Chain A
């Protein structure tokens, strides 16, 4: 579908299929998925369990390989990239946010966020400066030296988003990021993800919660491994009436 956003997508999935097993036990987890995600765009993927949402996300992030089709991240096809190239791309271009935060418990918030940068060869000092800036953007500057178990779930998830987007990374893949959070905290995490996308990141959000999916620009419905429908939010200034236009 056409979108008014910048030409080059950050993520492009082309005719993606994933088959688990073979013969009688063959399962088609994904059947011919096409999806582009542009800078500034947050796409939500909704579907019942078993519809292929998480498979889509793990393949988009290079954590699993498709049976056929292409995964292009920032112009590079990761399905044909070498092991080293893939590792570097995952480190530099893609950030993950999981339901259970996946922060390293022995590291502080700042250390968790700077870790991917240090692994990428950046000096510890420079990485810390970047990490502090990223945490500051999340409103977490004051928690930089806390350990994960000294933070609430919502704070940990915000650290995870900071880690996902530290440095030049523009693609954040979030798998049920609000799953372990109460409704209001979940919403603030979504608002933050939305804000990062408004600032230029590209996001893919897998969720079964319509209220969280509603923060996305586009909601894609997955059924049995195929995209069956999608919806785009209005760009009109006033939706209900003139009230917002006058604000």
Chain B
């Protein structure tokens, strides 16, 4: 888990106490993932239990210091060397929402897509503004502070992530338009429960099945409100 390894990485620079670790973690990642002191001490407790850190006296102000152990260093090396697992994807609320919006009664999937796109692009605008500030700071001062560089990398990750989402949303929209344009005319069967649609549509993969129902994909697009509907003639 990343907090564990994040703390080990910080402790590799020398012994530290809990709230110091919290400050350094946040400063490195621009507080993108805020930690509370409780989490830090709980994690330190587990690391100590696993022999990866050890208590190391107190500083002048009486803070209990923790130091990384040899086993901790080995664990840290392994973490850096091993790729982050992407084979069991984390649950993604947006993907689940769109999957559920396909053919959902009373839901205009294109509206769902557009309202998400607005939100996502706005987040990108905000991240980009922070990035422009971070770049100006780095270039203006010539500073090569470890924390400033780390923060820039984290920000750019947020930008690339939102960009991927915005592109995927664009893709979903054009995919749905293409599928509804080539779909067979909707029939009564289109509104029947999925179980009655025939064996071809009961597979586990939602993608291809969405098109075969005809009404499934088209359900939202025909009822787009306002100016959205009129332009669909092309």
State whether A233 touches B125 (Cβ < 8 A). Answer: yes
Query: Please, how many residues of chain A have a CB less than 8 angstroms from a CB on the other chain?
Result: 36
Given A214-B125, A215-B128, A231-B121, A243 and B30 contact (CB-CB distance below 8 Å): yes
A177: Cβ under 8 A from any B Cβ: no
A19 and B121 alpha carbons, distance in the complex (Å): 30
Interface residues in B205-231 by Cβ distance below 8 A to A read 227-228, 230-231
State whether B234 touches A50 (Cβ < 8 A). Answer: yes
B231 → chain A closest CB, angstroms: 2
Interface residues in B110-153 by Cβ distance below 8 A to A read 114, 117-122, 124-130, 132-133, 135, 137, 151
Interface residues in A90-121 by Cβ distance below 8 A to B read none
Query: Which of B36-44, B56-64, B94-102, B166-174 touches A?
Result: B166-174
A159: Cβ under 8 A from any B Cβ: no
State whether A215 touches B132 (Cβ < 8 A). Answer: yes
State whether A211 touches B232 (Cβ < 8 A). Answer: no
Chain B minimum-CB-distance residue to A231: B122
B159: Cβ under 8 A from any A Cβ: yes
Kindly list chain A residues whose C-beta atoms are within 8 Å of the C-beta of B167: 210
A174 → chain B closest CB, angstroms: 16
Interface residues in A208-238 by Cβ distance below 8 A to B read 208, 210-211, 213-217, 219, 221, 223-226, 228-234
- Contacts between the two chains (Cβ within 8 Å), count: 104
State whether B174 touches A244 (Cβ < 8 A). Answer: no
B205 → chain A closest CB, angstroms: 26
B157: Cβ under 8 A from any A Cβ: no
State whether A239 touches B133 (Cβ < 8 A). Answer: no
A217 and B124 alpha carbons, distance in the complex (Å): 11
Kindly list chain A residues whose C-beta atoms are within 8 Å of the C-beta of B227: 31, 223, 226, 228
B20: Cβ under 8 A from any A Cβ: no
A49 and B173 alpha carbons, distance in the complex (Å): 13
Given A210-B121, A224-B231, A243 and B114 contact (CB-CB distance below 8 Å): no
Given A224-B231, A240-B32, A241-B31, A232 and B151 contact (CB-CB distance below 8 Å): no
State whether B121 touches A223 (Cβ < 8 A). Answer: no
State whether A221 touches B30 (Cβ < 8 A). Answer: no
Kindly list chain B residues whose C-beta atoms are within 8 Å of the C-beta of A241: 26, 30-32, 34
A240 and B131 alpha carbons, distance in the complex (Å): 12
State whether A221 touches B31 (Cβ < 8 A). Answer: no
Q: Mark A154-195, 1 if CB is under 8 A from B, else 0.
A: 000000000000000000000000000000000000010010
Given A223-B231, A228-B114, A48 and B30 contact (CB-CB distance below 8 Å): no
Kindly list chain B residues whose C-beta atoms are within 8 Å of the C-beta of A50: 234
State whether A224 touches B232 (Cβ < 8 A). Answer: yes
B184 → chain A closest CB, angstroms: 24
Kindly list chain B residues whose C-beta atoms are within 8 Å of the C-beta of A191: 132, 135
Within the complex, which residue of A28, A226, A232 is in contact with B122, where a contact is CB–CB below 8 Å? A232
State whether B228 touches A221 (Cβ < 8 A). Answer: no
B163: Cβ under 8 A from any A Cβ: yes
Kindly list chain B residues whose C-beta atoms are within 8 Å of the C-beta of A24: none
Within the complex, which residue of B126, B174, B234 is in contact with A224, where a contact is CB–CB below 8 Å? B234
Within the complex, which residue of A48, A221, A226, A231 is in contact with B174, where a contact is CB–CB below 8 Å? A48
Kindly list chain A residues whose C-beta atoms are within 8 Å of the C-beta of B234: 27, 50, 224
A4: Cβ under 8 A from any B Cβ: no
Chain B minimum-CB-distance residue to A226: B227
A242: Cβ under 8 A from any B Cβ: yes
A112 and B231 alpha carbons, distance in the complex (Å): 41
A234 and B130 alpha carbons, distance in the complex (Å): 11
Within the complex, which residue of A31, A48, A226, A231 is in contact with B118, where a contact is CB–CB below 8 Å? A231
Within the complex, which residue of B32, B120, B162, B228 is in contact with A223, where a contact is CB–CB below 8 Å? B228
A7: Cβ under 8 A from any B Cβ: no
A23 and B42 alpha carbons, distance in the complex (Å): 73
A83: Cβ under 8 A from any B Cβ: no
A46 and B130 alpha carbons, distance in the complex (Å): 22
Would you give 23 A-B contacts (Cβ < 8 Å), ordered by A?
Answer: A28-B231, A31-B227, A31-B230, A191-B132, A210-B124, A210-B163, A211-B128, A214-B125, A214-B128, A219-B125, A221-B114, A223-B228, A230-B118, A231-B121, A231-B125, A233-B122, A233-B128, A234-B125, A239-B129, A241-B30, A242-B31, A243-B31, A244-B133
